[in-house]
């Protein structure tokens, strides 16, 4: 059991804003080091927004063949994530990565080459569910998925053990942050909300739909992704027996580049509310129509409902699709975390802790 250090850090009060996986991990790291930490989360629980609505893969790099930096970052971060959250991962499944014959931005050979360069295991395989006439290559790799229910439970255990004061249903603002010695902002799509205008930057905000479906039993324990372009993926959803669909084109209902996300009012009651049954707006039929070209039995999917959230990425990165995690010092009392992939949350938290330790001259 790690004991809190008896040093000057105990006198410093730190606010962490944002109860997603990046904010939670940073809060725990800081509290373990002896700081007094309050975690602000405006929702009714932690991990409710983007950390609770995504494809739940612990990426190792297979999905980002156009960005060696992202591939290396995923691989490098895997060990630290597994050390902290390994019991929330699922590893006993088949993961298939397919390159489309037409429309892909990388060839099968290019994908093989980058995987070999980074020593990613890659075995040519032909799963029965896939239409191989539409593919240049299908291969089996090694990745894990994340169980969001288990992850939330582990996060709460760590927060409680580290004695982080979690302030649910409470939005941080400039007034209540004045009493803190330091602030860490990990609010993803709302990263600019508490920053002075001079430090706000533009991001690309994508309002995404994640359909939740039931599929025939032969899909069980199998994950598929078709790359690398306007294609699709299907993955088991936690341990529910259901599946999540992804689609590079049809998942995105609206997109904008700017300091804040913009969206049609019809989405207000849908965003970050978990699974919405019979949503008034859905691209489900487009997911199925385009996905069935590669996985014919996807046409048998039963639509349980859809989840909606914002994905936030750096703008104008279509060429590489890179997904960096960026920790930035805004001023002497403020740091922001721009979240890339979930697996990088521990690395980001360690970077935050190093900066805070340096400020307060903590060994």
Whole-angstrom distance, CA of residue 154 vs CA of residue 173:
28
Exposed/middle/buried for residue 77 (C-beta within 10 Å: 0-12, 13-18, 19+): buried
CATH 3.30.9.10 describes domain 93-142+203-314? yes
CB 29 within 8 A of CB 5: no
Nearby residues of 251 by Cβ (< 8 Å), 6 or more positions away:
206, 208, 209, 210, 283, 287
Helix, strand, coil: what percent of the chain each, to 5? 30, 30, 40
Question: pTM, whole model, 2 decimals?
Answer: 0.95
Give the number of other Cβ atoms within 10 Å of residue 44's Cβ. Answer: 8
Question: Tens digits of per-residue pLDDT, 139-162?
Answer: 999 999 999 999 999 999 999 999
Kindly state the DSSP code that residue 86 receives in the 8-state scheme: G
- Cα radius of gyration rounded to whole Å, the chain: 21
Q: Where are the domains of the chain?
A: 1-91+144-201+324-363, 93-142+203-314
Question: Tens digits of per-residue pLDDT, 259-271?
Answer: 999 999 999 999 9
The DSSP result for 105-153, as a single string, is: SS-HHHHHHHHHHTT---EE---TTS-GGGEEEEEEE--EEE-HHHHHH
CB 132 within 8 A of CB 31: no
> Fold for domain 1-91+144-201+324-363?
FAD/NAD(P)-binding domain (3.50.50)
Which of 188, 172, 183, 186 lies closest to 334, judged by CA? 183
Report the SS3 class of residue 347. helix
Confidence label for 10 from pLDDT (cuts 50, 70 and 90):
low
Phi and psi dihedrals of 140, rounded to 5?
-105, 130
Question: Tens digits of per-residue pLDDT, 306-353?
Answer: 999 999 999 999 899 999 999 999 999 999 999 989 999 999 999 999
Helices 21-32 + 345-359 axis angle, to 10? 40
Buried b / exposed e along 3-39 (16+ C-beta atoms within 10 A): eeeeeebeebebbbbbbbbbbbbbbbbbbbbbbbbbb
Question: Tens digits of per-residue pLDDT, 92-127?
Answer: 899 999 999 999 999 999 999 999 999 999 899 999
Whole-angstrom distance, CA of residue 20 vs CA of residue 344:
13
């Amino acid at each position: 059991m790690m004991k809190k250090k008896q040093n000057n850090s105990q006198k410093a009060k730190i606010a962490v804003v944002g109860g997603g996986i990046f904010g939670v991990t940073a809060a725990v790291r800081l509290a373990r080091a002896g700081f007094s930490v309050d975690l602000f989360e405006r929702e009714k629980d932690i991990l409710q927004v983007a950390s609770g609505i995504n494809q739940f893969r612990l990426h190792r790099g297979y999905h980002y063949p156009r960005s060696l930096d992202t591939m290396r970052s995923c691989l490098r971060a895997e060990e630290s994530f597994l050390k902290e959250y390994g019991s929330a991962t699922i590893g006993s499944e088949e993961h298939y990565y397919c390159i489309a014959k037409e429309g892909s931005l990388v060839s099968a050979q290019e994908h093989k080459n980058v995987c070999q360069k980074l020593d990613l295991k890659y075995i040519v395989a032909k799963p029965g569910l896939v239409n191989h006439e539409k593919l240049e290559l299908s291969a089996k790799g090694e990745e894990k998925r994340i169980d969001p229910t288990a992850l939330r439970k582990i996060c709460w255990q760590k927060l409680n053990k580290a004695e982080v004061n979690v302030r649910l249903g409470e939005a941080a603002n400039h007034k209540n942050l004045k009493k803190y010695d330091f602030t860490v902002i990990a609010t993803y799509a709302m990263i600019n909300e508490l920053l002075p205008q001079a430090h706000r930057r533009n991001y690309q905000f994508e309002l995404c739909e994640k359909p939740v479906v039931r599929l025939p039993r032969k899909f069980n324990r199998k994950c598929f992704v078709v790359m690398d372009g306007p294609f699709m993926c299907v993955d088991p959803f936690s341990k529910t027996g259901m599946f999540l669909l992804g689609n590079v084109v049809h998942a995105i209902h609206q997109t904008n580049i700017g300091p804040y996300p913009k969206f049609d009012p019809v989405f207000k009651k849908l965003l970050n509310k978990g699974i919405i049954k019979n949503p008034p707006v859905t691209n489900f039929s487009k997911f199925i129509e385009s996905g069935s070209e590669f996985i014919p039995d996807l046409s048998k999917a039963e639509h349980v409902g859809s989840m909606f959230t914002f994905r936030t990425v750096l703008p104008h990165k279509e060429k590489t699709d890179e997904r960096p995690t960026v920790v930035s010092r805004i001023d002497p009392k403020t740091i922001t975390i721009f979240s890339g992939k979930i697996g990088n949350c521990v690395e980001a938290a360690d970077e935050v802790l190093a900066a805070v330790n340096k400020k307060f001259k903590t060994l």
